[in-house]
């Protein structure tokens, strides 16, 4: 492989243009772009895992992967074509840097819980509309009781839930023993602070306790966190 050249946040609009063919791209047009950038630019380490559960509309994801040298920039032009590794819903068996194949809503959070049970630090991005799928709440409840080592659910809240979440999405997570925060989905500093795995200085994952179910309730909530991002644009 050629020498990897990483690009900057300011390069993302050009990368998006290659993906979509649209002439002009404002970074604000994609609700997930900023949180993806912050994750890949400031948060994720070599041993960490990011799972894009919200696999529909992956343009921002591919653009960030390309900016970070994980996907060759030239491949963005092939988006969705027969031989492309970059489909409209990501396929982990084809696309480099894609941890899970997704696109059908409500699958990622369960897989993220499973991966986190092994001791991985896992971040999983879901949409607020996606949370309409009941499978998410099985995962939220199970994680709340079992307490996987280090799991962060990132909820992009662009008000696309069919029926909405009275009192806010984060309340649902908190009821199940998660730490929940709401930040501005465009504010990189706020996102970084919210996504740091050592948030609040609580104890990190320990290898002995990862997979043993805890029945003591919210005492294990230290490292499962939901970050809701207010982001008005659709993606």
Nearest-angstrom CA–CA distance, 12 and 82: 24
Q: Which of 122, 90, 133 is nearest to 226 (CA)?
A: 122
Please count the residues of this chain forming the interface with another protein, following the rule CB under 8 A: 25
Nearer to another protein, 67 or 116 (CB): 116
Q: Does 99 bind another protein (CB under 8 A)?
A: yes
Q: Does 105 bind another protein (CB under 8 A)?
A: no
Q: Does 178 bind another protein (CB under 8 A)?
A: no
CA count, 13 A, side-chain hemisphere, 177: 22
Asked if 55 contacts 101 with a C-beta cutoff of 8 angstroms, the reply is: yes
Which DSSP state fits 138? H
Nearer to another protein, 87 or 129 (CB): 87
Nearer to another protein, 148 or 185 (CB): 148
Q: Which two tokens stand for residue 118?
A: 């092994």
Q: Does 84 bind another protein (CB under 8 A)?
A: no
- What binding mask, one character per residue, do residues 32-71 give for another protein by CB under 8 A, x or -? -----------------x----------------------
CB atoms within 10 A of CB 4: 9
Quick one: which of 17, 84, 135, 161 contacts another protein (CB under 8 A)?
135
Q: Does 120 bind another protein (CB under 8 A)?
A: yes
Residue 131: alpha-carbon gap to chain centroid = 13
Nearer to another protein, 71 or 100 (CB): 100
CB of 13 to another protein, least distance (A): 31
Residue 177: alpha-carbon gap to chain centroid = 20
Sheet strand arrangement including 150-157: 49-52, 121-127, 150-157, 224-230, 179-184
Which residues of this chain interact with another protein, rule CB under 8 A?
A: 49, 91-93, 99-101, 104, 107, 109-120, 135, 138-139, 142
């Amino acid at each position: 492989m050629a020498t990897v050249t990483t690009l900057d946040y300011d390069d993302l609009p050009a990368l998006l243009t290659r993906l979509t063919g649209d002439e002009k791209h404002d970074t604000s047009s994609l609700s997930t772009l900023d949180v993806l950038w912050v994750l890949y630019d400031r948060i994720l380490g070599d041993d960490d895992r990011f799972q894009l559960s919200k696999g529909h509309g992956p343009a921002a994801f591919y653009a960030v992967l390309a900016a970070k040298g994980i996907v060759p920039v030239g491949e963005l032009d092939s988006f969705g074509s027969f031989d492309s590794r970059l489909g409209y819903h990501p396929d982990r068996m084809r696309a480099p840097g894609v941890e899970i194949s997704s696109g059908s809503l409500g699958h990622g959070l369960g897989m993220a819980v499973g991966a986190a049970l092994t001791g991985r630090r896992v971040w999983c991005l879901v949409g607020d509309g996606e949370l309409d799928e009941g499978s998410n709440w099985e995962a939220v409840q199970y994680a709340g009781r079992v307490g996987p080592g280090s799991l962060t659910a990132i909820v992009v809240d662009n008000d696309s839930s069919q029926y909405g979440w009275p009192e806010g999405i984060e309340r649902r997570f908190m009821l199940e023993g998660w730490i929940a925060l709401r930040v501005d989905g465009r504010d990189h500093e706020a996102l970084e602070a919210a996504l740091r795995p050592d948030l609040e200085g609580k104890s990190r994952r320990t290898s002995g306790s990862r997979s043993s179910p805890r029945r003591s309730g919210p005492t294990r909530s230290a490292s499962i966190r939901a970050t809701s991002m207010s982001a008005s644009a659709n993606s």
